Structure 1
Amino acid sequence: MGPAEHGTGPGADAPVHSQGEPGRARTRDGRELYYQRRAGPEGRPTVVFEGGLAAGRSYWAGVQTALADVAPTVVYDRSGLGRSPAAPPGASRRLHALADDLGDLLDHLGPGGPFLLVGHSWGGPLVRLAAAARPARVAGLVLVDPSDEACDLLFEPSMRRAERAGQLATVWLARLGLLGRVYRSLTAALPPDAAADLRAEGFTVAMTRARGRELEDAAGDLRALLKNPPGLAGLPVTVVSAGRTSAGMPESVRRRATVSHAYRARQSPHGRHVVLPEADHMVVTTSAAELAEEIRRLAT
């Protein structure tokens, strides 16, 4: 990695972009993943952020900038999102394949780590898989309102219907150029440069295709985790739950999700479960400062 990819160090001028300097990491099958890196204090694990379903790097900007004095940070786009080219049509976008891509990004950043992995929603099980593949280089995990196989609701037929309806609505709104309006409050919470990137890249028809591929068999991916739970070798795990309901997360769903989060935290000898009362499912923007504080606990 050349100096231009490292961003700026402590005490230097702020990076040109709030999310840091750009770089590209190559996967084992030759694809490229676009990432941005902000430098931070030396001797701290690099915090690597993993987005939710079809969510790219930009919506982490508020959390990332809040950690500027804490640790180096990296955000990236999965294949087909943001500035990362789409994977070939026959390439799997199932959970294990996405975790392999994250592992390849970590190899590029520095194979030995240490890394603190932060995963939101669908990114939660993804970072667990990536950590289990090589736990020695992982300092800990922060799971942010994660999808979790301990939540039986995720296996119900109603969830499959909701996924199909959500995908159809997302495609329709993207084709009409209206999807960004649905997420105005999200973009408004971000630094201006990250908000501009998200408006340009996050609500496209191409994104909806990547979303559909990631949803190919979500229930099957979660069943695989039930059958073969990722072994985290006693790593510290903080699980953050939202305290408020939101679209798609009414009170009954919210309650069952939070119970599964408490269970996940209990599986770690160094587990911590935190409920952020002012956050909805989009914790990364509705409670960015509070989430950054939970990340700080594990990074310092």
Structure 2
Amino acid sequence: MGGPRSGAEVEHSQGAPGTATTRDGRELFYMRRPGAPDAPTVVFESGLAASRSYWAPAQVAVADRAPTVVYDRSGLGRSAPDGHPRTLQRLAADLGDLLDHLGPGPFVLVGHSWGGPIVRIAAAANPARIAGLVLLDHTDEACDLFFHPSVRRAEKIGQAISSLLARLGLLAFAHRDLLAPLPDDAKAEMRAEGFTVGTIRTRAAELASVVADMTALRDDPLDPLDVPVTVISAGRTSTGMNARIRAALNASHEHRAEQHRLGRHVYAPNSGHLVPTGDPELVAAEIHRMLP
């Protein structure tokens, strides 16, 4: 427990390790790179089943402009599992507990995929400490296709395939393109921690309430934040996201940016859905726009 430790561990590409305790006693593992002390702390929130490690290229690209924090949600990486339903509100509350542990802020929150709605809800819960949001190809309730039964069927098929590959020890090989851009230390940790049977169980737990959670967001919209909000859309199709889905999702991203007075919508032209590893320099550039 406690804050980041010092010593040789600081030499890791993602910084020094630490743990934060949630309101009900679970420990969340995080890593923190130092940066300019007068800059907001940049906190990265991962997509489904993704640990802290795939943020390493973007985190390194931010360099020393600001402190950066990556962490593992409950049941992922080195964080303790959660015996309660993993609803979107609970995920956002856990992020809020991490922010409480890190200090008063301000924070720039960066969310990829399912991490997008998590950071939006966490920011809305305490907007005074938020300096900006960067949403990377995020899941958005304005995308009507998201609610189509075909998407649920695809999720179930993907879950079954991932579960089988994890049991066979082949899931890391299936995601070798994701691993390739990572620094050696983050790559080794993600290979060891990110493709386990437990990871896939956590993915299933987070998927269980996705439709209900997104329906609630659609029916009871969050208030727009009066801070810079950048939405980055992938420019390429990728596994599970054909041209039709990509167009619908990107349209929802444009809509989301338009809801904020300081909203901005940009494309990652050379990246599919995995923008954090596909175009980390663009991610860093948009974060830099929000720093003093």
TM-score, with structure 2 as normaliser: 0.97
1:109 to 86, 102, 105: 102
Q: Work out the CA distance in 2 between the residues paired with 1:40 and 1:275.
A: 27
Long gaps (5+) in structure 1: none
- Residue 4 of structure 2 corresponds to which residue in structure 1? 5
Question: What displacement does 1:6 show?
Answer: 6.8
2:179 to 169, 183, 187: 187
Structure 1 counterpart SS, 2:4: helix
Q: Is the 8 A contact 1:5 1:23 kept in 2?
A: yes
Q: Is the 8 A contact 1:37 1:75 kept in 2?
A: yes
The two structures, once aligned, show a CA RMSD in angstroms of: 1.5
Q: Which moved more, 1:37-46 or 1:232-241?
A: 232-241
Letter matched to residue 113 of structure 1:
G
- Residue 94 of structure 1 corresponds to which residue in structure 2? 87
Structure 2 counterpart SS, 1:299: coil
Q: Is residue 137 of structure 1 aligned with residue 112 of structure 2? A: no
Q: Work out the CA distance in 2 between the residues paired with 1:219 and 1:251.
A: 22
- Residue 34 of structure 2 corresponds to which residue in structure 1? 39
Q: Work out the CA distance in 2 between the residues paired with 1:234 and 1:68.
A: 27
- Residue 210 of structure 1 corresponds to which residue in structure 2? 202
How many residue pairs get matched? 292
Letter matched to residue 122 of structure 1:
W
Question: What displacement does 1:39 show?
Answer: 0.4
Letter matched to residue 231 of structure 1:
D
Q: Work out the CA distance in 1 between the residues paired with 2:281 and 2:225.
A: 29
Question: What displacement does 1:7 show?
Answer: 6.1
Question: What displacement does 1:232 show?
Answer: 3.8
Q: Work out the CA distance in 2 between the residues paired with 1:100 and 1:82.
A: 19
2:23 to 12, 25, 28: 28
TM-score, with structure 1 as normaliser: 0.94
Question: What displacement does 1:289 show?
Answer: 1.1
Alignment of 1:111-260 (within 5 A): 112-260=104-252
Structure 1 counterpart SS, 2:265: strand
Q: Is residue 293 of structure 1 aligned with residue 281 of structure 2? A: no
Q: Work out the CA distance in 2 between the residues paired with 1:73 and 1:232.
A: 25
Long gaps (5+) in structure 2: none
Question: What displacement does 1:28 show?
Answer: 0.4
Q: Is residue 55 of structure 1 aligned with residue 72 of structure 2? A: no
Letter matched to residue 178 of structure 2:
L
Question: Identity across aligned pairs (percent)?
Answer: 58
Letter matched to residue 156 of structure 1:
H
Q: Which runs of 4+ in 1 moved over 3 A?
A: none
Question: What displacement does 1:234 show?
Answer: 1.6
